[in-house]
Amino acid sequence: MSLFGALNTSVSGLSAQSAAFGNISENVANSQTVGFKAVNTNFIDYLTTSTAQQNEPGAVVTRPSYTNNVQGTITQSSDPTALAISGQGFFAVSKQNGTVAGSNDPTFNPQTYYTDAGDFQPDANGYLVNSAGEYLQGWTVDAATGAANQSQLAPIQVTQTRFNPVATSQVSLSANLPTTAAAGTPMASQVNVYDSLGNSHAITLSWTHLGTNDWSVAMTSPDTIPTTIGTAEVQFGTNGVAAGTIGSFGAVTGGVTGAAYAANAPANLTLTTNFGSGAQTISLGMGNFGQANGVTQFAAGAYSLGNLSQNGVAPGGFTGITMNATGDVIANYNNGQSQTVAQVPVITFAAPGSLQSQNGQAFTATTASGNAIAQAANNNGAGGLVTGSVEGSNVDIATEFSSLIVAQQAYGANAKMLTTADQLLQTTINMIQ
């Protein structure tokens, strides 16, 4: 009987609109939640019997419509470790399931989650954690080569709170010695180098004109015993090289040796000394034999220093973490140095709308979504990274209020259908009585 069908259909309509109300309320409640993805409602007709001669009232059912691939508004953040993805993709994150016995270090659920909630901040253990308590995953970077290990993802942890000193092994010098300098008149410049402990030591390079195309350079430091490290004779225009360029090294003394001439080879002196932390070898580069790219002897005038630099590094204390658009996680130190410790990839799926929603604006992969694909930002359809920014909720309040009005009207109409069908059924029963 169609009255019973009308009752069932009206009840299904009430249930469907109730589900729509639930989705709308969830969306509105999370309109300010970082990385939240709205859930819309699709309505599907469910038939019982439908032919050209007869139609039995059916029902309506609902299915959620996920907007996982719809981006929210990206806004600037005051946190330098905040990240947003402009375009398709998610961050891979881990969730904590405990702590290591006897410490505060977290242990992690082996399940990988995916999210657009990029309001990451470093915690006390050096991990990058978002407001939902999820730990950012990335590729670790080899400190020696700078290459990212793209074979696996792991929670990113910055533990290098001190930049270890690097002993000076190379000093580079470019300068011009005047051809008219008076014999015996020294010309000096100074460079600070570092020993293996990171202590700074001054080395003075004193040039003395011995005669035509012939100079002596003495290397001294108040921190060595004796203070004179050694001397070397530097000869210009010898071995058939162009005038004014280094052609050979002559006599050397102390802990100094000179490279043998070879066309266009590096014109280096090797200094062996000890600043108190052990023997240290430093190469003093003066350009190349026969090339005007280091120490030269051209024209008259005064001694002219072009460049005097070294490759040692003082120890440094940790000052903070920054990120860049390629996903590099960079530890910075107060000695001016920085080190890339990890790289953040962007995770994409063939069908992101089929991801399974989890707590904390997170998702897990499903058979329907396809496997997670981790790749560098801006590659093969993956979105770009925006540093110092976060992606907000993709909920549109105006749209939700419009949907709310429609759902309210539909709910009221179904309620009216239900009460009317009930009245008609009651009338029929009264007729029998």
> DSSP character for 325?
T
Whole-number pLDDT of residue 425: 78
- The percentage of the chain sitting over the pLDDT mark of 70, rounded to a whole number, equals 96
At residue 1 the predicted structure's pLDDT band, cuts being 50, 70 and 90, is very low
Q: What is the pLDDT of residues 122-160, one digit of tens each?
A: 999 999 999 999 999 999 999 889 899 999 999 999 987
Cα dihedral 352/353/359/360 (nearest 10): 60
Greater confidence, 302 or 98? 98
Q: What angle do CA 348, 350, 354 make, to 5 degrees?
A: 100
pTM of the model: 0.78
Whole-number pLDDT of residue 56: 65
Q: What is the pLDDT of residues 213-226, one digit of tens each?
A: 999 999 999 998 88
Q: What is the pLDDT of residues 10-49, one digit of tens each?
A: 888 889 999 999 999 999 999 999 999 999 999 998 766 6
Could you give the count of Cα atoms lying within 13 Å of 95 in the half-sphere of its Cβ?
15
Beta strands in 238-353 (DSSP E): 246-254, 256-258, 266-274, 279-288, 295-296, 304-310, 316-323, 328-333, 338-343, 346-348
In SS3 terms, 339-400 reads as: EEEEECCEEECCCHHHCEEECCCEEECCCCCCCCEEECCCCCCCCEEEECEEECCCCCHHHH
Q: What is the pLDDT of residues 241-281, one digit of tens each?
A: 999 999 999 999 999 999 999 999 999 999 999 998 899 99
